[in-house]
Structure 1
Amino acid sequence: MIKLIASDLDGTILLKDAQSVDNSLFETIHKISEKGIIFAPASGRQYNSLKMLFEPIAKDLMYIAENGSLVMYNEEVLFKSPMDRKLAMEIIEDVYEHCNCEVLVSGLNTAYIKPKAKEYLHRMTSMVKYTTSMVDSFDDIQEDILKVSVCDISGIKNSTEYFTKKWSGKVLTAVSGKLYLDFTANGVNKGTAIKKIQEKLGISPDECMAFGDNYNDIEMLDNVGHSYAMDRAVDDIKKHAKHITESVEMTLKENFL
């Protein structure tokens, strides 16, 4: 019996750059939750952003946020895995000085930004609708840093090679969508979050299902017994899934309703 379902958002639940979840999916997830199954959005997005996206059923869900750096359940921190502060600050400086790149620094309840371009500010506050805090200096951040992200508005493919070559080994890097590259502490990803949840709640991998479409979903797909890659995902991702689907909602209905 499935006890936990985790799903990526962008490119998995949210298709064609959508920024809102269909009401029909809310209804489907609610019915599944009534069966005692935990549904967990698993994303590089912040916790507050995920709660807003799933507002009609927000209290029913577990949240795997910040690429696995933070897991929230019943409005409490189940666990968090912050970055080494000195290393995070070095990465922040590198990203901020890099041409065409913006930096996003994730805390527990807010994301810290120092926009270089109005387009980036508009994207974070009006499109993605993040909870943000403007800083004059990233040194002003007083809390744990869960994740550092590069945002390249021209496409993250233009910056990935530089940053991964420079920082791989010191931190974990993962492409997240078309515009972002995320840095988390070594060993921290959606998959390790799934493993910690399994251990904490006494759930086996075979009692877990997951959906994903991008490289930051690989470890999550590898750590569940029922793994689904989206049909539009690249072949590298599909290799890690036991099933291919065109729709999360359709698959949920076929399996649980």
Structure 2
Amino acid sequence: MTNRSVIFFDIDGTLLKHDKTLPTSTKEAIFQLKELGHEVAIATGRAPFMFEDLRKELDIHTYVSYNGQYVVLNGEVVYSNPLNIDSLEKLTETALTNEHPVVYMDHEDMKANVPEHAYINESINTLKIDRFPTHDPHYYKGRELYQSLLFCREGEETQYEDNFKDFDFIRWHPLSVDILPNGGSKAKGIKKIVEKLGFPSEHQYAFGDGLNDIEMLSKITNSVAMGNAEESVKAVAKHVTKSVEEDGIVHGLQMVGLLSK
């Protein structure tokens, strides 16, 4: 175990470039890590069904999804942290009054509480996935949801932050914020995996670029922020690599000594 490490990778802006393509150098680096005996995992805000193709392409079966709310180790769910449905129902009522759409998400699908909205179209389309939320305003009933999306302009989420303390709100697009269980994070999801695998802190690595990576990068001993990350993200990381557009994953892995130059 002393020669093996576990490495967690964010997806958007980290593994994938801004056009949502996977650099060849990154794919090769992932397989080199696996050949060396390291454990490679994903830590993302995405739903499991939003990166199934990527998992297959990289042969990765361990992941933290929904920013830590749905955690899978070697294909088996080891932790889940669903949203408070009563609070979500009240939030939806407020959102409808404000004409702010909501999308409900479990581990298999996502459904919108309105038939159509420009904010949903614009933000979801940036993910370049083959799944789009269809209309089902009652999807939250009788099932566990691990994340929801609130569609509003920057600054408009403050009224929800003030009134719905069961949730954390993290913006991922100018027109959309993630709704998460209060206190949930990638860092907590990662902790569930490393406890199972037994990797000591000095053999834990994480790469990320977004605001939802701040806690992960601040708590993982060997953290690496992408060169394209915001300054607040770079500030908490132990290392800063090149941007995803400049083979930042390979450079970062070499920088921390996991791959040779």
Tell me the TM-score range normalised by the shorter chain. Answer: 0.7 to 0.9
User: Quick check: 2:111–2:139 contact (8 Å CA) kept in 1?
Assistant: no
127 and 115 in structure 1: CA distance in 2 versus 1, 3 angstrom threshold: farther
3-state SS of 2:14 partner: coil
CA separation in 2, counterparts of 1:253 and 1:120?
Answer: 39
3-state SS of 1:137 partner: coil
Aligned to 1:80: 80
Describe how 1:34-113 pairs up with structure 2 within 5 A. 34-57=35-58, 59-99=59-99, 101-113=100-112
115 and 4 in structure 1: CA distance in 2 versus 1, 3 angstrom threshold: farther
CA separation in 2, counterparts of 1:237 and 1:140?
Answer: 33
Aligned to 1:149: 149
**Aligned counterpart in structure 2 of residue 165 of structure 1, from 162, 165, 171:** 162
Q: Greater shift after overlay, 39-48 or 126-135?
A: 126-135
1:126 is displaced (CA, Å) by 8.8
88 and 205 in structure 1: CA distance in 2 versus 1, 3 angstrom threshold: farther
151 and 77 in structure 1: CA distance in 2 versus 1, 3 angstrom threshold: same
**TM-score, normalization: structure 1?**
0.84
Matched, 1:234 2:230: yes
3-state SS of 1:60 partner: coil
Aligned to 1:135: 135
User: Quick check: 1:81–1:146 contact (8 Å CA) kept in 2?
Assistant: yes
> What letter matches 2:258 in structure 1?
F
1:178 is displaced (CA, Å) by 4.3
1:85 is displaced (CA, Å) by 1.4
92 and 52 in structure 1: CA distance in 2 versus 1, 3 angstrom threshold: farther
Alignment root-mean-square deviation, CA? 2.6
Aligned to 1:197: 193
CA separation in 1, counterparts of 2:117 and 2:72?
Answer: 32
CA separation in 1, counterparts of 2:140 and 2:160?
Answer: 24
Aligned to 1:206: 202
> What letter matches 1:98 in structure 2?
N
Aligned to 2:14: 12
Deviations 1:181-238 (A, max 9, x none): 1121122110111112121221222211112222211111122110112233333222
1:70 is displaced (CA, Å) by 0.7
CA separation in 2, counterparts of 1:166 and 1:96?
Answer: 15
Deviations 1:66-112 (A, max 9, x none): 1111112332212111111111222233334434x432211011112
User: Quick check: 1:227–1:242 contact (8 Å CA) kept in 2?
Assistant: yes
1:253 is displaced (CA, Å) by 4.4
In the alignment, structure 1 segments of 5+ residues that lack a partner are: none
Deviations 1:154-203 (A, max 9, x none): xx524333332333x32222223444311211221101111121212212
User: Quick check: 2:210–2:229 contact (8 Å CA) kept in 1?
Assistant: yes
Matched, 1:217 2:207: no
Aligned to 2:245: none
User: Quick check: 2:91–2:160 contact (8 Å CA) kept in 1?
Assistant: no
CA separation in 1, counterparts of 2:215 and 2:140?
Answer: 33
62 and 231 in structure 1: CA distance in 2 versus 1, 3 angstrom threshold: same
In the alignment, structure 2 segments of 5+ residues that lack a partner are: 243-247
**TM-score, normalization: structure 2?**
0.83
User: Quick check: 1:194–1:223 contact (8 Å CA) kept in 2?
Assistant: no
User: Quick check: 1:175–1:214 contact (8 Å CA) kept in 2?
Assistant: no
CA separation in 2, counterparts of 1:223 and 1:32?
Answer: 22
3-state SS of 2:102 partner: strand
Aligned to 1:28: 29
212 and 140 in structure 1: CA distance in 2 versus 1, 3 angstrom threshold: closer
> What letter matches 1:207 in structure 2?
H
